[in-house]
């Protein structure tokens, strides 16, 4: 099975109509030319649900499943980060949005809300593999153990939450943890430790973020050490089997068993 990650240059969620039209063309081309089973796009690559509907109409390959996240601003100006799945030629609103963004928000209420989202709205299947989506800072449901490269369930006093979360992981083949910006500096080690933990017990974990600065050039110079995209399996980093050499976006493909 092949998993394709696609990163576009970062934007503030306010693409012009012209730029959004060009991006629609790129996304349609990527999907129609893909030989992957599943494609994960970086977040906020489009601003309008209507753009996803246009893509759905123009995609010719119904065999490819793709995941998108739109900012979907509320009337109060807050980003809801809603998830949409393109599967079997249909656009599916997963009726889900990001629950929290950092560790300070991981209280019992938010933790339970996230677990319920994961149990009922964040799972799907592709080619017999069960996928689970943990959005960006929701990975803070795990607490990193400094210097050990591993992470543990953050609310250890709630054994019931911990049990539900671990049962979900046991039934998952691939954990997706797409992020909005790259985790750098003091945040990098905790982030990697969570990805490694998600990939334990023969699971796979993948992350994909938006491109900024020299990330596109750096990723092409050294595809196996790409900070924009990561693939993990059984606590080991995977190497891509393909990295594109041109275009203004980055594509990497990973193969899983």
CATH topology of domain 2-255: Nitrilase/N-carbamoyl-D-aminoacid amidohydrolase (3.60.110)
**Which neighbouring-strand residues pair with 251?**
6
- pLDDT, position 77: 47
- Give whole-number Cα distances, 164 to 116, 171, 206, in Å: 9, 11, 22
Q: What is the pLDDT of residue 24?
A: 95
Q: What is the pLDDT of residue 226?
A: 84
- Distance from C-alpha of 181 to C-alpha of 42, rounded to nearest angstrom: 9
- pLDDT score for 133: 98
Question: Which residues of the chain fall below pLDDT 70?
Answer: 11-14, 72-79
How far is residue 173's CA from residue 41's CA, in Å, rounded to a whole number? 19
At residue 12, the pLDDT reads 57
Whole-number average pLDDT of the chain: 91
Structure letter (DSSP) for residue 24: H
Question: Residue 84: what pLDDT?
Answer: 96
What is d(CA 5, CA 247) in angstroms, rounded to the nearest whole number? Answer: 14
Instruction: Give dist(CA 49, CA 93) in Å, integer.
Output: 10
Q: Look at residue 118 in the predicted model and tell me its pLDDT.
A: 97
What is the predicted pLDDT for the residue at 74?
Answer: 52
Ramachandran angles phi, psi of 64, nearest 5°: -95, 135
Give the end-to-end CA distance of the chain in Å, rounded to a whole number.
6
Q: What is the pLDDT of residues 67-117, one digit of tens each?
A: 999 876 555 445 578 999 999 999 999 999 999 999 999 999 999 999 999
At 79 the pLDDT is 59
Q: Half-sphere exposure of 221 toward its Cβ, with a 13 Å CA cutoff? A: 6
């Amino acid at each position: 099975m092949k998993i394709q990650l696609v990163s576009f240059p970062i934007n503030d969620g306010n693409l012009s109509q012209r730029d959004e039209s060009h991006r629609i063309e790129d996304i349609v081309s990527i999907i129609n030319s893909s030989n992957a089973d599943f494609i994960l796009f970086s977040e906020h690559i489009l601003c309008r649900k209507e753009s996803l509907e246009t893509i759905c109409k123009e995609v010719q390959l119904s065999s490819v499943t793709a995941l998108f996240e739109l900012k979907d601003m509320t009337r109060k100006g807050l980003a809801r980060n809603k998830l949409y799945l393109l599967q079997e030629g249909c656009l599916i609103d997963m009726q889900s949005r990001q629950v929290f963004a950092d560790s300070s928000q991981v209280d019992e209420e938010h933790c339970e809300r996230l677990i319920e989202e994961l149990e009922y709205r964040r799972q799907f299947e592709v080619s017999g593999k069960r996928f689970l989506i943990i959005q960006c800072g929701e990975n803070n449901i795990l607490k990193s153990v400094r210097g050990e490269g591993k992470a543990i369930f953050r609310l250890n006093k709630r054994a019931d939450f911990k049990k539900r979360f671990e049962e979900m992981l046991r039934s998952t083949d691939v954990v997706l943890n797409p992020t909005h910006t790259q985790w750098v500096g003091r945040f990098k080690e905790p982030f990697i430790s969570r990805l490694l933990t998600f990939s334990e017990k023969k699971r796979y974990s993948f992350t994909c973020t938006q491109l900024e600065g020299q990330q596109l050039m750096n990723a092409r110079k050294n595809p196996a050490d790409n900070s924009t995209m990561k693939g993990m399996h059984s606590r080991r980093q995977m190497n891509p089997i393909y990295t594109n050499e041109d275009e203004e976006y980055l594509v990497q493909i990973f193969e899983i068993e």
